[in-house]
Structure 1
Amino acid sequence: MRQTYTLYGWHLSYFTGKALCYLRYKQVDHVLKAVNLFTLTRTIKKKTGAAVMPVLKTPSGEWIQDTSEIIDYIESLHHMNPVTPNTPVQEFASTLLEAWGDEWWVPIAMHTRWNYPENFALFEQDAGKALLPWAPRFLQNKAAQRPAKMLRGMLPFVGIVPEQYNTMNEWTVHMLDALNRHFEQLPFLLGERPSLGDFGLVGTMYGHLGRDPWPKRELIEPRTHLNAWLERMKNPAVHADKLLLGNDEIPASLNPIFKSIFEEFIPMVAQVGELATQHAQQNGLNQRLPRRIGEVTTTMGGKPFKRGALPYMIWMMQRALDCYAHMADSDKHDVRTWLKQHNAEHILRLNLPRVERRALTVAVTALPPKHMEKAA
């Protein structure tokens, strides 16, 4: 009897796209099941602690909520076509790219969806049909209003306010142009097949920028090489037997992307880490943090960008730093050498608290070393 995984999600969902493309790449038997209202608010919430998507139900009956943990789980059981590179610099770089794709692009995806009204008809159709598949159209439309209202209400939460629209628009054009130039040279981020970073990036492209009518027409389709990459990511299994770049190379065409990671994303995570540390000092360890613990200001394209401090991104960065920590000394040397080329070796010394994932947020389990030294 074939063992089939069930992925609960919607095509319009940011992270469903990431998980779906990954499962297609791994060529494991799976089905995508649209989440209805009962499954979302009752079953999934009971199984994972949050009404969230996507969620993977395994053949053995386990329910796995986070896409990074979904990938970890599948990789541990299905060893063909690994998405983690087997050389140190590419491995570390791919974990950074995944974290950047998962966390940094969220404001761009939400801005290009909710601030362009022509996109709503597709959301209303998809969400309504999924939530109440048995109901008449007018009830489906009404059901879609609730998640739409919730998501619109989150826009300021992630920095989507009128005074920052131009900053986001300019950054998006610059970054999509950079990605388009890269994909003119290579089919995927690190070579001839996708790796972890591609699946991090595809989240924002699959369900949002590459599917919503306005950004698809205005941003993705005119950039033919980026659009071709997105089409490859929708059917990535045909590239599974290809190779990544040799000699542990990170292509120079990704320099603008890593500039964003090192100069925009990492400083934001560092500030969120400091706020999480302060929260833990005041409230104790092992307490579930709020989804938002204040505000941080970083830069986007050289301009100030203010947004909510979401402690979940600490967990994503922790995964990258753990990847480095578990390497052999010679491999660590190679990673440090690459980071020095970008004046970014300092990211290995980020003073982040140790966190544990708790559904959609985290709990601090240990203070950063510097704070523990002060406490002592």
Structure 2
Amino acid sequence: MPNPLTLVGTYGSPYSLKMRAVLRYRQIPFRWAIQGTADEQGIPRPKVAIIPVLGFPDASGEVTEVMVDSTPQIARLETMFRERSLKPTDAGLHFLDLLIEDYADEWVTKMMYHYRWAPRESVERARKLLPVWPGLHATDERLERMGEYIVDRQVSRRALVGSTETNAPVIESSYIRLLEILHRHLEGNDFLLGDRPGSSDFGLYGQLSQLVIIEPPSTDLCILHGPR
């Protein structure tokens, strides 16, 4: 068995769970390292400090190369591993697969950000939950400080991401429309574009892993408009 890859991420990151699901589906050996814990010690820092970070080992097993951004990560894996490919063989379907993946990464993520950092109940939930994943053994005081830091930073970025009072009706109606489309589609299909998953399936999965499980308001909407 080749030396495993390393994936650095966290449970509250939709892109981290997207890539973890890709590696699992493709049965590519990898090690899951939670950001901010001892698991990521010794892994080179990427030039851009975002997650997930995908680390590639040398012959000795040491991670010597890293890259970020889930779409290029998936493309890189396609050049390295042939089994259980995500790339459709039909050129038209391949284009649609990339288009829907981009929709998930760039638009559905605004829904995720909005429902996490706009409703008061979601903000309070995130304040308590997000610091625990990298800080399981931290003191209560440290967890509280971490929670305050995360909330202050993320809420202040809402306008930058596009979650504003002006945009809220568009984001929320778009989320409901997505749920209704998926509910109808999944009645007769297992995947978005055929008989096996593509990048688009994993792109939507990453965002929905937060929207329909973690965030209370968007979870309630999912149950109402698209439980499939």
Q: Taking structure 2 as the reference length, what is the TM-score of the superposition? A: 0.87
Task: For residue 216 of structure 1, report the CA deviation from its aligned partner.
Answer: 5.1
Q: What is aligned with 2:119?
A: 116
Q: What is aligned with 1:35?
A: 35
Distance 1:158 1:102 in 2: 12
Q: What is aligned with 2:24?
A: 24
Q: In 2, are the aligned partners of 1:101 and 1:197 still within 8 Å (CA)?
A: yes
Percent of residue pairs bearing the same amino acid type: 24
Q: What is aligned with 2:212?
A: 210
User: Tell me, what secondary structure is at the counterpart of 2:6?
Assistant: strand
Q: What is aligned with 1:160?
A: 163
Q: What is aligned with 2:144?
A: 141
User: Tell me, what secondary structure is at the counterpart of 2:144?
Assistant: helix
Q: Which aligned pairs between 1:1-376 and structure 2 lie closer than 5 A?
A: 2-36=2-36, 47-60=45-58, 61=63, 62-206=65-209, 208-215=210-217, 217-222=219-224, 223-225=226-228
Q: In 1, are the aligned partners of 2:118 and 2:163 still within 8 Å (CA)?
A: no
1:66 counterpart letter in structure 2: D
Shifted more, 22-31 versus 209-218: the winner is 209-218
1:218 counterpart letter in structure 2: D
Distance 2:70 2:219 in 1: 28
In the superposition, relative to structure 1, how do residues 101 and 74 fare at CA in structure 2: closer, same or farther (>3 Å)? same
Distance 2:29 2:218 in 1: 30
Distance 2:50 2:185 in 1: 33
In the superposition, relative to structure 1, how do residues 37 and 81 fare at CA in structure 2: closer, same or farther (>3 Å)? closer
Task: For residue 185 of structure 1, report the CA deviation from its aligned partner.
Answer: 2.0
Residue by residue over 1:278-308, the C-alpha shift from the partner in whole angstroms, topping out at 9 and shown as x without a partner, is xxxxxxxxxxxxxxxxxxxxxxxxxxxxxxx
Which runs of 5 or more structure 2 residues have no equivalent in the other structure? none
Larger radius of gyration: 1
User: Tell me, what secondary structure is at the counterpart of 2:197?
Assistant: coil
Which is bigger in relative contact order (C-alpha 8 A, separation at least 6)? Answer: 2
Task: For residue 126 of structure 1, report the CA deviation from its aligned partner.
Answer: 3.9
Task: For residue 188 of structure 1, report the CA deviation from its aligned partner.
Answer: 0.8
In the superposition, relative to structure 1, how do residues 38 and 151 fare at CA in structure 2: closer, same or farther (>3 Å)? farther
Q: In 1, are the aligned partners of 2:4 and 2:57 still within 8 Å (CA)?
A: yes
Distance 1:77 1:30 in 2: 14
Residue by residue over 1:202-223, the C-alpha shift from the partner in whole angstroms, topping out at 9 and shown as x without a partner, is 22111x2022241453122342
Normalized per residue, which structure has more helix?
A: 1
User: Tell me, what secondary structure is at the counterpart of 2:33?
Assistant: strand
In the superposition, relative to structure 1, how do residues 164 and 215 fare at CA in structure 2: closer, same or farther (>3 Å)? same
Task: For residue 29 of structure 1, report the CA deviation from its aligned partner.
Answer: 1.5
> What RMSD, in angstroms, separates the aligned Cα atoms of the two structures?
2.3
Q: Taking structure 1 as the reference length, what is the TM-score of the superposition? A: 0.54
Distance 2:128 2:99 in 1: 35
In the superposition, relative to structure 1, how do residues 201 and 213 fare at CA in structure 2: closer, same or farther (>3 Å)? closer
Q: In 2, are the aligned partners of 1:12 and 1:123 still within 8 Å (CA)?
A: no
Number of residue pairs the alignment of both structures matches? 222
2:53 counterpart letter in structure 1: V
1:141 counterpart letter in structure 2: E
